[in-house]
Chains A and B, each alone.
Chain A
Amino acid sequence: MSPTDQNSQASDLSTTPHTSVDADNESTTHFGYKTIEKDDKISMVAGVFHSVAKQYDVMNDLMSFGIHRLWKRFTIDASGVRPGNKVLDLAGGTGDLTAKFSKLVGREGKVILADINSSMLNVGRDKLRDKGLVQNIEYVQANAEYLPFEENTFDIVTIAFGLRNVTDKDKALRSIYSVLKPGGRLLVLEFSKPEHELLNKAYDFYSFNILPKMGELVAKDGESYQYLAESIRMHPDQETLKDMMEKAGFEQTSFKNLTGGVVALHKGYKF
């Protein structure tokens, strides 16, 4: 498919409501706008992140004009993290949240940076070690659907810009629920659906016309950023994700739209 074809398809589908949880058929799922076999998604997403890992932070700053730092700050503020807490930063990538959590939980606490992608995990580990953050951080390569931790282990679990890449989101939410301690909380920071139509259109134009070109120029990988734009559109909208969290067992779920709903922070408790 030529880039033009992809763009026209993107424009058609960009108006699709963000309510698709997973593909209709149980054995298939989405990879951006493509419907693929579930078994293939992990390796295809892995391919994207192996490709962008080294330029990930630079691209985040460029694409969001640095606002991703404020979204992450908001997540930390909403987490209510305390000294001594045990935190799981799932799909933690290059460790922005882990770095902050590590300082806040102190020597008595612990932060686990988990990511399914080894390249992202390596970049994150190198970055945090270069910052001198070594005392209370552990690194685990893990699939969010099958978390390799005991039940009732964590006070806080965060997943920032990672849930949309997970093949079976419901399974991942159930897995997160089980590793949270009673009283623990999950924070999901993820791209979502803008609240205003005008902003939605501008955002669509930016995502499908500018973002892939930026990716091509800086990370030499336009396709991965095309996937990024498509995966955002296929991700469940605010209310759907809230419902999914409730179905997984979370209580007192709420969400907060940031930057007009471009990003939303969902929060739920395990009691």
Chain B
Amino acid sequence: MKPSNNQADTQLSKQLSNQLSTQFGTKLSDSLLLPQVATATLELIINKALSLNNKSLSFATVAQKTLMLELAELSFPLCFTVDNTSSPVVIIVRSTIECSDCSIKTSVSTLKKLKANQSLTQLIKQDELDVSGDIKIAQQFANIAQSLEIDWQTELAKHLGDVPTHKLLQFGNKITKSLLATGKQLEADISEYLVHEKRLVVTSSQINAFNQQTKDAASKVDSLSARIDKLVANIAGKQ
């Protein structure tokens, strides 16, 4: 006989509560409420960024959906829920294990690779990324993050004034350009070394072989020299 919906719900709740009993353990980060400090800070930053955004963003497909991110570097998960019950739309950040429509288990370094457009499937195959649930939700969250368009100059000018903001951004642009140029030069030098010069550089096995050959030649010269000395001595004895 199939269990009724109520029985199934009850069983699910029991399983969840068992998981939560573990969560209710005495972890130091829990006692210090570090996950709550982190989620409150993240929530503030994300919603501030959303309020400064100039581009219209569509949240319809992710309304009330939750994305869970488990980073190897963090001892607690991060859950992002889109709330569209009030205007403007806000994103709520929590640290809980029983909330997600899509969950991603990964590390910060893998997220950087994802940003650098490394193939998603390749990272999953390499076990660097574990996705469960509706992957479209993760993609839509990523799209929203990439679509954010914030006019930092206008926002900064509201606090600092027009002239200091202009000077600050000019200085910032100069530094950025110089850093980018240095980076590009470094990248070019390294790639030139790898493509051209690395081929010409003698390897350690080649050096070892050369040393061995030199030793062999020296011992041959020594034995030849000894033979010549012996012959010279024989000739001198006969005379």
Q: How far is the CA of A82 from the CA of B16 in the complex (A)?
A: 13
Q: Is the CB of A182 within 8 A of B6?
A: yes
Interface residue B10 (Cβ < 8 Å from any Cβ of A) = yes
Q: Is the CB of A132 within 8 A of B31?
A: no
Q: How large is the interface on A (under 10, 10 to 19, 20 to 34, 35 or more residues)?
A: 35 or more
Interface residue A254 (Cβ < 8 Å from any Cβ of B) = yes
Interface residue B207 (Cβ < 8 Å from any Cβ of A) = no
| Chain B 79-96 interface 0/1 with A at a Cβ cutoff of 8 Å (1 = within) | 001011111001010111
Q: How far is the CA of A132 from the CA of B86 in the complex (A)?
A: 6
Q: How large is the interface on B (under 10, 10 to 19, 20 to 34, 35 or more residues)?
A: 35 or more
Contacts of B92 in A (CB 8 A): 100, 103-104
Q: How far is the CA of A258 from the CA of B37 in the complex (A)?
A: 13
Q: How far is the CA of A269 from the CA of B11 in the complex (A)?
A: 12
Of B20-28, B104-112, B145-153, the one with at least 4 CB within 8 A of chain A: B20-28
Within 8 A of A (CB), among B77-134: 81, 83-87, 90, 92, 94-96, 98-99
Q: Is the CB of A80 within 8 A of B33?
A: no
| CB closest chain-B residue, reference A77 | B96
Q: How far is the CA of A271 from the CA of B63 in the complex (A)?
A: 31
| CB closest chain-B residue, reference A269 | B17
Q: How far is the CA of A107 from the CA of B26 in the complex (A)?
A: 35
Q: Is the CB of A103 within 8 A of B86?
A: yes
Of A68-76, A200-208, A231-239, the one with at least 4 CB within 8 A of chain B: A68-76
Most buried by A among B14, B17, B87: B17
The listed residue (A70, A82, A182, A252) touching B99 by CB distance below 8 A is A82
Instruction: Name the distance in Å between A96's Cβ and chain B's nearest Cβ.
Output: 13
Q: How far is the CA of A257 from the CA of B6 in the complex (A)?
A: 32
Q: How far is the CA of A8 from the CA of B93 in the complex (A)?
A: 45
Interface residue B165 (Cβ < 8 Å from any Cβ of A) = no
